[in-house]
Amino acid sequence: MLRYTVERVPVGSVLAASIYDGRGNLLMREGTELTAGHLELLRRRGVKTVLVDHPEFRDLVLSDPISPDLLREALRSYGEVAVWIRTKSSGTGSDFDWEPFRRMAKRLLEEVGSGAEHRCLLHATSHDQQLAVHCLNVAIVAVRLARDVVRPDQLVEVGLGALLHDVGRLVTDDGAGEIPSPLEPPTEEERQHPLRGLALIRGVGTLSAFAKVVVLQHHERQDGSGFPHGTRAPDLHPIAQVVGLADAYVSLLEARGGLPPDQAVEWVMTTAGREFDHRLVSSFVNHVDPYPLGVEVRLSSGEEGVVVRQTGVRTRPVVRVVAREGRPVEACYDVDLTSLDRQTTVIQWARPLVSV
| Contacts to Fe ion by CB under 5 A | 166, 247
**Which is closer to Fe ion, CB of 9 or CB of 167?**
167
Question: Residue 110 burial by CB count (10 A; 0-12/13-18/19+): exposed, middle or buried?
Answer: exposed
**Which is closer to Fe ion, CB of 73 or CB of 247?**
247
Cβ of residue 239: shortest distance to Fe ion, in angstroms?
Answer: 15
Question: 186-195, long-range: CB within 8 Å, 24+ apart, which pairs?
Answer: 186/219, 186/227, 190/227, 191/227, 191/228, 192/168, 192/228, 193/166, 193/168, 193/169, 194/168, 194/218, 194/219, 194/227, 194/228, 195/168, 195/228
**Which is closer to Fe ion, CB of 210 or CB of 291?**
210
Q: Residue 11 and residue 28: Cα distance in Å, rounded?
A: 15
Q: Residue 123 and residue 349: Cα distance in Å, rounded?
A: 21
**Which is closer to Fe ion, CB of 157 or CB of 166?**
166
Q: How far is CA 215 from the centre of its chain?
A: 18
**Which is closer to Fe ion, CB of 166 or CB of 277?**
166
Strand partners, 117: none
Q: How many CB atoms lie within 10 A of CB 172?
A: 13
